[in-house]
Amino acid sequence: MQTARSTYTLDGTINTEVKPTVLDLRVQAPRFAFQEWSGVIRGLRNIAVEASFDTSLKGPVNKLATDLQLSGTGGGVKDDSRSTRRSPRLARRGRRRRRSAEFSALADRDDRPSDITGHVTFDLALELGRRFPRGMYAFQGPHAMYMHYEADSVRAPRSADGEGGADWRRQRDA
């Protein structure tokens, strides 16, 4: 597929002969403009990122394994996650390594600069474009900066309530 701002290829199979449906798909995108696809996936509307990525989706849809390597204007991500149940909420559990993530681009908010590097584990109901994700995640990394507040050696367990609120704790390693 090629558009004005994106180029990607999709290869693989979708087996609907078995229940649940089993996927074995790979998407390679040398360039991809997230907002360009917001008419297809509503949750991409506010993600002002241009990127390249390589991802695979393998397994039954209720335990779908995802591998992702992405780099772009919002930073870089290496993701290894698995869906925990079949749900319109897109529940995900897994690990994600961020290399210098820039969340202002992810949220389309230039007034909220960030630079976050570290490792995230998560168990979230994403509900893209509907509401704030709900669930648990933990961050551990050498550096984090958001809106000019900075910290080193950050460890942060978090519980997101779905309304944007959270139980946030920061511990400084000794």
| Structural domain contains residue 161 | yes
In a domain, 121, yes or no: yes
pTM over 0.75: no
Q: What is the pLDDT of residues 98-142, one digit of tens each?
A: 555 555 555 556 777 777 778 777 777 666 556 666 777 788 888
Measured CA to CA, the distance from residue 45 to residue 52 in angstroms comes to: 18
CA distance 69 to 27: 11
Task: Tell me the mean pLDDT in the region 44-64.
Answer: 87
Least confident of 31-40, 75-84, 85-94, 107-116: 85-94
Q: Is residue 1 part of a domain?
A: no
DSSP string covering 16-81: -SSSS-EEEEEEEEEEEEGGGGTTTSGGGTT---EEEEEEEEEEEGGG-EEEEEEEETTEEEEEEE
Residue 130 domain-assigned (yes or no): yes
How many Å apart are CA 12 and CA 24, to the nearest integer?
Answer: 5
Contact 101, 75 (CB under 8 A): yes
What pLDDT is stored for residue 131 in this prediction? 63
Q: Domain of residue 24: give its range.
A: 7-169
Decide if 138 contacts 121 (C-beta within 8 A).
yes
In a domain, 62, yes or no: yes
Residue 25 has pLDDT above 90, yes or no: yes
Is residue 45 in a domain? yes
CA distance 83 to 125: 10
Residue linked to tokens 């584990």: 121
Considering the domain boundaries, does residue 152 fall inside one?
A: yes
Lowest mean pLDDT among 44-48, 63-67, 72-76, 169-173: 169-173
Give the per-residue pLDDT at 18. Answer: 95
In a domain, 2, yes or no: no
| Number of domains forming the structure of the chain | 1
